[in-house]
Amino acid sequence: MTTETRCWVHGATRADGDFPIENLPWGVAERPDRQGEPRIFVAIGDSALDMTESAGFGILAGLAPRIEAALRMPTLNGLMALDAADWTAARAHVTALLTSGAHSIEKHARRDAVLIARASLKMQVPAAIGDYTDFYASEFHATNVGSMFRPNQPLMPNWKYLPVGYHGRASSIVVDGTPVVRPHGQTSATDEGPPTFGPSKLLDHELEMGFFFGGAGNAMGNRISVAEAAKHLFGCVILNDWSARDVQKWEYQPLGPFTAKNFCSTVSPWVVTLDALRPYCIPGPSRKEGDPAMLDYLRWDNDFVVDVTLEVLLASAAMRAAGTAPTRVSIGSFKDVYWTMSQMLAHHTSTGCNMRPGDLLASGTISGPAKENRGCMLERTWRGTEPITLADGTERRFLQDGDELTIRGWCERPGLPRIGFGECRGVIMPAR
C-alpha cells in the first residue's frame, strides 16, 4: 500500500517533503492558543499532532498508561525514559491515527483541535538536556584540521583507537531559528601570546548530527556494551556546534575546546526516531588497510551508520533582503564517519559513566572526501585562504554579522520515501 493511499494529511505525500507517514518525528512546541504551555507534538506533512490535546479527547486510548503519561509531559524526557518497545508502540499508535482506517482520526469530531498547522508552532529544545558530549568522529575532518596545524602528524596516535570527545555545555543548546550572538574571547596572533580580549573574528559553523540517549540509563559503574547501545538510541537531530576558531586556537592546548564552543549550539527541533531511520541504515564503516584493530569493547558485527544527506546553505543579510536564494556551502553525509553512534555511546560509558534519558551526544564535524563535503568554514576555505563567493558577489572566509546559516538533512533510498529532519538555522548577531 502506498503512502498516497494511506495518509490523508495535507503535505504528507510531497516527494520533497520531510515528514511523511514513514517519519513521524517527535518535537516539543507551544501552540498559538496555548502560549506558555509546551507540549509534545508529532510532525506529519504540513501539520503536527498535539499529544496533550489528543489525550484529553481520548484519542490515545489503547496505549499503556505509562506511555500516555509520558506523552502528556512538557518535554520528551519521560518518553525517552521508557524502553524501545514503548517507543515503537507509541509510533505505531500515531501511525494508525494518521492512516485511513478503523483507528484513524480522519473524521474525528475534534480533528482540527488536535492537528494544527506546523508553521504556527513555536518550537522548543525537545528535551531537558542534562549533559551534552561532542565527539570528533569524522576521519576526513580530523585529518583536514590536523594537517593545518600539525602537517607532520594530522591524526594524533590515539585517534583510531577511541572515539575522541569533549563535554560541551548543555545550557547553551538552542533550537532552530534562535539568533547566535558573536562571542568575545581571548585571541593571539602567535602561539606564544600575549593575547587580547574582544569579539571573535573567525566565527564558524560545524555540520553535525546529534542523538539522544534513551532508556532507563545505566547505574554508575556499569557499562553499556556496543551491542546494547542501539537500544538506547532514541533518535537523531541536526546539530550545529558554532565555533570561534581564533579563540579555539589559543585555548585548546592542553585540555581541548572550552569557551570557543560553550556559547551556543543549535539543534533542529524534530527528533527522528531510530525506528524511522532503520530502513536508511547501512553497515558500519570498514577499516582500511593499515588501520589498527578495534578493541573488543568497540567491536560489533551488526554495527551501522545512517545515510543522511546533509546540506549547508549560507545567505547574507543583503541576499535575504533581496529575496536571493542562499548559496550552498557544502554537502555531505552522516555515513562518512569513522566511529558509529553505538561506539560513541559504548566508549562514553566504558568507565562506568552513568547516562540519563535526554542526554545529548553529537558526532563532531562531518566531512567527506571532496572539497564540497567539508563540514565547516575552517576546512571549506582552508583557514581562509580559499574564500567562498556568495550569490550576492561577496566573499566569506568565516561567518559575518547578519549571515544566516541553514543546515538541512534527509534520507533517501530507492523504493522508499524521503524522510527529513527539517532545518537547523541561526542568524549571526553582533557581539554585545
pLDDT in tens, 331-387: 999 999 999 999 999 999 999 999 999 999 999 999 999 999 999 999 999 999 999
Question: Considering the chain, what percentage of its residues have pLDDT values greater than 90?
Answer: 94
Identify the pLDDT of residue 5.
44
Kindly give, in sequence order, each residue whose CB lies less than 8 Å from that of residue 102, ignoring residues fewer than 6 positions away: none
Q: What is the pLDDT of residue 137?
A: 98
Q: What is the pLDDT of residue 388?
A: 98
pLDDT tens, position by position, 283-330: 999 899 999 999 999 999 999 999 999 999 999 999 999 999 999 999
Q: What is the pLDDT of residue 225?
A: 98
> Is pLDDT at 2 greater than 60 in this prediction?
no
Looking at residue 100, the DSSP 8-state letter turns out to be S
- Give one word for 271, left, alpha or beta, with left for phi > 0 and alpha for psi -120 to 50: beta
Give yes or no for residue 249 having a pLDDT over 80.
yes
* Domain map (residue ranges) of the chain: 3-123, 132-429
Predicted pLDDT at 101: 84
State the CATH class of domain 3-123.
Answer: mainly beta
Model confidence band, residue 162 (pLDDT cutoffs 50, 70, 90): very high
Report the alpha-carbon distance of residue 209 to residue 410 in Å, rounded.
Answer: 12
In this prediction, residue 345 carries a pLDDT of 98
Which of 39-48, 134-143, 147-156, 191-200 is predicted with the least confidence, judged by mean pLDDT?
147-156
Query: Mind listing the pLDDT tens digit for each residue in 175-225?
Result: 999 999 999 999 999 999 999 999 999 999 999 999 999 999 999 999 999
pLDDT at 3: 40
pLDDT computed for residue 354 by the predictor? 98
Residue 55 has pLDDT above 90, yes or no: yes
CA nearest neighbour of 77 among 20, 124, 11: 124
Residue 141 is a catalytic residue: yes
pLDDT in tens, 398-418: 999 999 999 999 999 999 999
Helix (H, G, I), strand (E, B) or coil at 89: helix
Nearest-angstrom CA–CA distance, 73 and 70: 6
Confidence band, pLDDT 50/70/90 cuts, at residue 279: very high
pLDDT for res 6:
82
Across 144-166, average pLDDT: 94
Q: Kindly state the helix (H) or strand (E) to which residue 166 belongs, with its residue range.
A: strand 165-167
75 and 127 Cβ atoms separated by less than 8 Å: yes
> Which CATH architecture describes the domain 132-429?
Alpha-Beta Complex (3.90)
* pTM (whole model) above 0.95: yes
Which segments within 316-403 are labelled E, that is strand? 327-333, 360-362, 388-389, 395-396
Note whether 48 and 40 are within 8 A (CB). no
pLDDT of 206: 98
pLDDT value of residue 4? 42
Q: Strand, helix or coil at 359?
A: coil
- Cβ neighbours, 10 Å, residue 327: 18
Residue 123 has pLDDT above 70, yes or no: yes
* pLDDT-above-70 percentage for the chain: 99
User: Which member of 141, 205, 232, 348 is catalytic?
Assistant: 141
Rounded to the nearest integer, the mean pLDDT of the chain is: 96
